[in-house]
Amino acid sequence: MTLSAQRQASLMSRPMLAVIIAQFFSAFGDNALLFATLAVLKNQHYPDWSQPVLQMVFVATYIILAPFVGQVADSFAKGRVMMFANALKLLGALAICFSINPFLGYSLVGIGAAAYSPAKYGILGEITSGEKLVKANGLIESSTIVAILLGSVIGGVLADWSLLAALFACVLAYGLAVAANVLIPKLAAARPGQSWRPRTMSRQFFSACRVLWRDGETRFSLVGTSLFWGAGVTLRFLLVLWVPVALGISDNKTPTLLNAMVAIGIVFGAAAAAKLVTLKTVGRCMPAGILIGAAVALFSLQHHLLNAYVLLVLIGVLGGFFVVPLNALLQEKGKHSVGAGNAIAVQNFGENGAMLLMLGLYSLAIKLGAPAVATGVGFGVLFAVAIAVLWGWQRKQKRGA
């Protein structure tokens, strides 16, 4: 069967299955490694404010490499780019495993992740087409969330039992991801023969930024996904400090289980988005974004574990419904304007810039002694207001058009 026929026949073609499997193990390793490395920081008595700094080091690699990784994804077969990127993640996990500075090892994982993301999402537009792209994104997000669920829980549980076992599980996951990447057929490069001069690549990247920002739909998608992922990564670190204060529990396992509740919810939210939202009706996802902020503020006030579980599942459902259509919209529009790889690189630049800003503000708030509960409430309210403003802006742009 030709690739064109596979794109039309089924979402579960061999290339798609290979991408899903590779993404599962790669995301599993990412999330298990985060909690294992946080346990390393605790074990080595790093201060609390250094925990979000660990993620900021990871995020900074996305921002620094953004002008280059999109072109890498579009200049080579994306499956091979994914394999190379997962090999870098494997090397970073091994570095932490062998007691090299955790910030250095985690930054190497960040370099691999930065290279991996444009290839992972860009390849979807090459093995699926049209309205199937939303469903393909739903499958990838579902695979990712299941991996987040299992990786977070297993990483936290193993870290309580044995740090070495937790780190070895991450190494194994990345090894399996590399093996799965081998099964992805070697597709033709989307945009071969581009210049590899850093200045030229940077100019082309920022040109792609301008192209996507000038288009109302892609601008809407970029802002929405940046707000979502910036909020998501901040919530993850908020949970680490919130659990001991609100619930009186100080182990590594409980924050990972609470993160897993969000992951479970996103699976259902992504599935609902695939059924209820198309590229023409993306605006339907915006009320869910506003409700995410309200739910986070309400969650921060809880003192019972069951209530926390329920609200985090709800936050996950709303998050999956919100972000999947925005991702699909950017991939479809970006593929025809600047190339899928470049579009995802621009998206990563915006998302990780938002993450870096939000994590910086969160780390500063914690260093200055802000209470975890009050921080969570304020964070939720600000997120709801930001999404409401974005929705109003988008509706105004549509009326003007």
Classify residue 215 by its DSSP letter: S
pLDDT of residue 178: 92
Q: pLDDT confidence of 93, banded at 50, 70, 90?
A: very high
Query: Could you tell me where the beta strands, DSSP code E, fall in 271-396?
Result: none
User: Domain 12-185+198-400's class?
Assistant: mainly alpha
93: helix, strand or coil: helix
What's the whole-number mean pLDDT along residues 361-367? 82
CA 256 – CA 239 distance, rounded (Å): 9
pTM of the predicted structure, to 2 decimals: 0.69
SS3 percent helix, strand, coil of the chain, rounded to 5, is: 85, 0, 15
What's the whole-number mean pLDDT along residues 179-193? 75
195: pLDDT strictly greater than 90: no
CA 51 – CA 398 distance, rounded (Å): 41
How far, CA to CA in Å, does 173 sit from each of 26, 45, 179, 283? 7, 27, 10, 37
Crossing angle of the two packed helices 372-400 and 216-242, in degrees rounded to 10: 170
How far, CA to CA in Å, does 220 sit from each of 33, 99, 282, 321, 394? 32, 43, 10, 16, 7
Between 335 and 239, whose confidence is greater?
Answer: 239
Q: pLDDT confidence of 108, banded at 50, 70, 90?
A: very high
Among 61, 352, 69, smallest CA distance to 205 is for 69
25: pLDDT strictly greater than 90: yes
CA 82 – CA 69 distance, rounded (Å): 11
CA 64 – CA 382 distance, rounded (Å): 27
Q: What is the mean pLDDT of the chain?
A: 82
